[in-house]
Amino acid sequence: MTGANSSPLRVAIAGLGTVGAGTLRVLRDNRDLLTQRCGRTIEVIAVSARDRKRDRGVDVAGIPWFDDAVAMAREAPADIFVELIGGSDGPARAACEAALSARRHVVTANKALIARHGVVLAKHAESVGVTLAYEAAVAGGIPIIKTLREGLAANRFTRVYGILNGTCNYILSTMRTSQRDFGNVLAEAQALGYAEADPSFDIDGIDTAHKLAILASLAFGTPVNFDAIHIEGIRHISLMDIHLAEELGYRIKLLGIAEMTDNGLQQRVHPCMVPLDAPIAHVEGAFNAVVCHGNFVNTIMQVGPGAGAGPTASAVVADIIDIARGRRTPTFTVPASELAEIPVSPMARHHGACYVRLIVVDRPGVFADVAAALRDNNISMEAVLQRGRRPGETVPVVLTTHESDEGAMRRTLEAIAALDAVTEPPRMIRIEPF
């Protein structure tokens, strides 16, 4: 297919949820603009979803309907198969494989699918001469895939990190601004549609990890390796932590971080204490942000809406436009067969400073026991905060440490947790010196 092709580009869309319906609206509302920019019209010639009777806010009358997405991928005379079903396996994967086998281009917003099976699908696409595109899989309306793969292709990257889940960023931001606890704000996020009824993928860091795995592959030219990611969520973040972070000069963000270290590529998802003077500390609400460190461009940060019908559909259609124009780029910066294995740097080798919150019985000698656990593992304290005195009752104690090895910090926390005066598991948040 070339940019000179003037015949209509035929598109089949599987999945008519928020993003699928949004994609139909973009293709219809901006039809003339897209025709002008592509040099050809884009026609939706088939759709597939589970419930024909559901009102999706967009008219699908007159468009051939398939109950089976896999059958549509095989049989509909489409140039592009758009997969918006979701899930790393099942119908989504089967339909994409069927579309590739039929030599159809595939556009997807499915981060779980790309994080788990992206390399296999990319090799399949490249072997039959079609495109596998997934701009909408990471950071919604932010064009970060195109940025890493094309705009910053001249750079060698040392670090890529960001706020990759709008639900978590909304919860942490709202806890701080409204002075409400985690459970209360989560319930509000669910009521507003920012969080699912089962929010585990978001708040436990899985969604962020899917996206980080994709970014790491693009930035470092290595196969997507979801299983190499250390993952922690935000369930344990308290309003007390939010307050104390501000007092110490930080803001708490759930970040996905991929960086080259002396030990190899380290990929990690966890809450971070971010300095208040770091630009990413001020990305609030449901917005996403991605920061790239390249050896010639230095530091680039992109901020934008990370989800929602409009932003995500915009990214889906951007991929369709590239295909309509005949633009071809490797799926992961280089051909999938040329992705290089890079040693994995385990989380135990991470080196950094930490914030630790303890709940202890207020009695003489407790702090000496905590200090001994730190000393025995060669951990140096930077600061200590205690709010109030209640002899014989529990009080919060917060300490920050100088940089140390993760393994030593873990052993220290285990020793502290074993102390009789410590009544709750110690909570650690890593401090990132951005």
Q: What is the pLDDT of residues 34-93, one digit of tens each?
A: 999 999 999 999 999 988 888 888 889 899 999 999 999 999 999 999 999 999 999 999
Average pLDDT over residues 207-235: 97
Residues 109 and 122 in one domain: yes
In angstroms, the CA 233 to CA 148 distance is 26
Q: What integer best gives the mean pLDDT of the chain?
A: 94
Q: What are phi and psi of 152, to 5 degrees?
A: -110, 25
Supply the pLDDT for residue 391.
81
Q: What is the mean pLDDT of residues 13-25?
A: 95
Asked if the structure places residue 383 within a domain, the reply is yes
Residue 16 near residue 72, CB atoms below 8 Å: no
**Where in the sequence is the domain holding 101, given as residue range(s)?**
9-140+312-338
User: Regarding beta strands 394-401 and 351-361, do their DSSP bridges make them parallel or antiparallel, or are they unpaired?
Assistant: antiparallel
Residues 47 and 77 in one domain: yes
Domain identity same for 209 and 253? yes
Query: What residue has token string 């989800």?
Result: 307
Q: Quick check: is 116 in a domain?
A: yes
Residues 50 and 91 in one domain: yes
Query: For residue 1, what pLDDT is reported?
Result: 38
Tokens of 135: 């701009």
In a domain, 80, yes or no: yes
Residue-wise pLDDT for 317-340, tens only, equals 999 999 999 998 999 999 999 999
Give alpha helix (H) positions in 102-160. Answer: 111-128, 144-146
306 three-state secondary structure:
coil
Residue 344 domain-assigned (yes or no): no
Residue 71 resides in a domain: yes
Residues 198 and 301 in one domain: yes
CB 108 within 8 A of CB 137: yes
What are the two backbone dihedrals, phi and then psi, of residue 104, each rounded to the nearest 5 degrees? -105, 140
Report pLDDT for 290: 98
The tokens for 307 are 């989800």
Question: What is the pLDDT averaged over residues 206-219?
Answer: 98
**147-186, pLDDT tens digit by residue?**
999 999 999 999 999 999 999 999 999 999 999 999 999 9
Please check whether residue 267 lies inside any domain of the structure: yes
Report the pLDDT value the prediction gives residue 4, as an integer from 0 to 100: 53
Residues 168 and 271 in one domain: yes
Q: What is the pLDDT of residue 217?
A: 98
My answer on whether 133 and 160 are in the same domain is no
Residues 46 and 111 in one domain: yes
- The CATH number covering residue 110 comes to 3.40.50.720
pLDDT of 230 over the 60 cut = yes
Q: Which of 250, 281, 305 is the last residue of a domain?
A: 305
Distance of alpha carbon 251 from alpha carbon 242, whole angstroms: 7
Task: Read off the pLDDT of residues 360-413 as tens digits, 9 standing for 90 and up.
Answer: 998 889 989 999 999 999 999 998 888 767 787 899 999 999 999 999 999 999
Residues 376 and 401 in one domain: yes
pLDDT of 3 higher than 50: no
Q: HEC string of 312-360?
A: HHHHHHHHHHHHHHCCCCCCECECHHHCCCCCECCHHHCEEEEEEEEEE
Query: Once rounded to an integer, what is the mean pLDDT over residues 243-262?
Result: 96
Task: Express each pLDDT in 191-211 by its tens digit.
Answer: 888 888 899 999 999 999 999
Strand partners of residue 401: 381
Domain count for the chain, please give it. Answer: 3
- Read off the CATH number of the domain in which 415 is found: 3.30.70.260
How many residues belong to the chain?
434
What is the spatial distance between Cα 73 and Cα 336, in angstroms, rounded to a whole number?
23
The CATH number for 260's domain is 3.30.360.10
Instruction: Find out whether 309 and 58 touch, Cβ atoms under 8 Å.
Output: no
Percent of the chain with pLDDT over 70: 99
Active site residues: 211
Considering the domain architecture, whether residues 164 and 291 belong to the same structural domain is answered as yes
Parallel/antiparallel/unpaired status of strands 381-386 and 394-401: antiparallel
Classify residue 174: in a domain, yes or no.
yes
The counts of H helices and E strands in the chain are 14, 17
Residue 2 has a pLDDT of: 41
C-alpha 105/C-alpha 96 separation (Å) is 9
- Residue position matching structure tokens 């007159």: 62
- The 10s digit of each residue's pLDDT in 275-319 is 999 999 999 999 999 999 999 999 999 999 988 899 999 999 999
3-state class (DSSP) for residue 397 = strand
Mean pLDDT of the 106-126 span: 97
241 lies in the same domain as 323: no
Statement: residue 425 has pLDDT above 60 = yes
CB-based burial of residue 67 (10 Å sphere; 0-12 exposed, 13-18 middle, 19+ buried)?
exposed
Quote the pLDDT of residue 136: 97
Q: Is 289 helix (H, G, I), strand (E, B) or coil?
A: strand
In terms of domains, do 52 and 191 share one?
Answer: no
Determine the Cα–Cα distance for residues 131 and 285; give it in Å rounded to an integer.
Answer: 34
The per-residue pLDDT for range 231-247, each reduced to its tens digit, is 999 999 999 999 999 99
Query: Does any domain span residue 74?
Result: yes
Burial string for 229-255 (b: 16+ CB within 10 Å, else e) reads: bbbbbbeebebebbebbeebebbbbbb
3-state secondary structure of 148: helix
